[in-house]
Structure 1
């Protein structure tokens, strides 16, 4: 467990992937453009000493992912957010079945989310039912700009999407994670617009809409929607690494989010493997607002606030008992593998790496 200024912080990385963008898996030029754009984000916001080569980045092993997430106690649990992109990749970019294989190796450490695409119609509904039955998912990741044949995107407030959201409600899949952030080449920027969250959130108050990437670059639009919709949350993946090279911008983003949404509706996410929590957790935990920002927004990044953002809010959404997890992790496979016993023992905290 991560330790900050003498206090233990239980970290749930709410946005992770295990992807395959190897050249053998690419079936469309869009697949190469996509991973190259991802890599540009990686190198643009990752400290030089932590940057991967492109070949490492294309396809990494489950073993490497496990080590990067857990070996230095930066992260305690991680939530998988699948992104299929089946028009670009023969076996999918990042599928629930690939994620499940790793999650099954380390019970309790990963939360497995599914996905749906309303353009898949009845077959898509059957697939969503299968995901629930086989994996007991309680969340889905939605990629509204994903290509599907001749279609280059869909809307969360469409009739077809509402049918799937109704099914989610019936099945007990309560956490809806739409990607509403920066465009990844060659996808359509407008298909990631945050506006369609408004009607969906109003129409399904029993569901939680975790808007990934907090709508960037449409932060204002997102904040105004989230301010009026109490079931809208913000996922900080993509926003978090701005703390490295754009600390003042990161402070501005956090100030706006805390002013409009408050500390109970924000979730940390690394977007692994875009960025690695090995260094990102420490960077975010050490971030501060300027005095001017504290005065303007009336908030600050206190340890109590960050405890919620880094793990407690995700635990609330996914019904995770943090104290029970601490007990469970005292002797689980990852704790033994990486020698982390003291991290969950009685009172011995690790030094920051």
Structure 2
């Protein structure tokens, strides 16, 4: 055993003893002091081992703020040491992150941002953090969505589960309403059903906008599976949704009479895959009356149409007054003012 290894082992043992005795602050501060010394002398391996060791013990002791601080320090040492995002390095980080409660510790968001920057936007880390934010008892849906849209092939199922739970969970779930008021129950159930495509679109349109047809299909398939299952059990939607299962080229399409925008999203994926402007325009025209009322979809769909089908987005139309003012300012046209 080398002298350096022996010294590190003593530091690790002393750190463990402090934490077991409940002296968390001293363990945290002593670790930072020793790590700073290691970094100054470029003993990066020792610094990393000590940070991982102490952060893990603090996380297990529910000292999450101190653990998060040391994980951020670990990422800083990774950068200074030139540590690449290898499976081993990412594994150390993931093991620590999985012991944290993202819903209660705000520093987890900062860890996610720093880790993604260090790794060059690694898809596996996006999946880990997205899943972490999605599966907490109080999910951070926006953070989860942002990461899962850049994740791995496993991410669409996690995203679909979160979006469906979000769509039908407390606050929107008809079963959580006043069951003595049948009118309220009926309206709430209808609202839940009508909102399903709005939640699903966050995944489908998000993946398509990123050029990711595979995962758009994945989030769509899982979400629709939940809807069909709830149709049978009638537990979350609060109403039965009539549908027809139609076999398409490669996959089935579930046609919902009461929720036509679910049909649109299912048809959108194979349509953009065809790269046919004619097919896209026919699909959009068929659902135009519904889509025109969704301002949030318009620019996204325009971008998707251009990306896959080469359809240039419509130019914004100026009104007559704007046209006239433009003519005056340019000094041209029959109506231009002359001196």
* Fold agreement, TM-score > 0.5: no
Structure of greater Rg = 2
Task: Tell me: higher relative CO, structure 1 or 2? Use CA pairs within 8 A at least 6 residues apart.
Answer: 1
Q: Quick check: which one's helix share is greater? A: 2
* TM-score between the two structures when normalised by the length of structure 1: 0.28
* TM-score between the two structures when normalised by the length of structure 2: 0.28
